[in-house]
Amino acid sequence: MTYKVILSDSAYKDLENTKAYIAGDNPVAAKQYVGKILDKLSSLS
């Protein structure tokens, strides 16, 4: 069985806000953190 994972606009904005918040202290960690989340989401599809 195959599922399609859809990231809503609201969820995407939340990720961007999270990235911006973390980037205030550590831009590299922010990029890595959000990148890992997006990688995990894409692996679910």
Q: Is residue 3 a part of any domain in this protein?
A: no
Is residue 2 a part of any domain in this protein?
A: no
Residue 44 reports pLDDT greater than 90: no
Span 4-22, pLDDT tens digits = 889 999 999 999 999 999 9
Q: In the 3-class helix/strand/coil scheme, how is the chain assigned residue by residue?
A: CCCCCCCCHHHHHHHHHHHHHHHCCCHHHHHHHHHHHHHHHHHHC
Looking at the domain assignment, is residue 28 inside a domain?
yes
pLDDT for 29 beyond 90:
yes
Place of tokens 């205030």: 24
Domain around 16: 9-44
Q: Give me the number of domains the chain comprises.
A: 1
Domain assignment present for 40: yes
- 4 located within any domain: no
Any domain includes 33: yes
Structure tokens that stand for 45 in this block: 């599809």
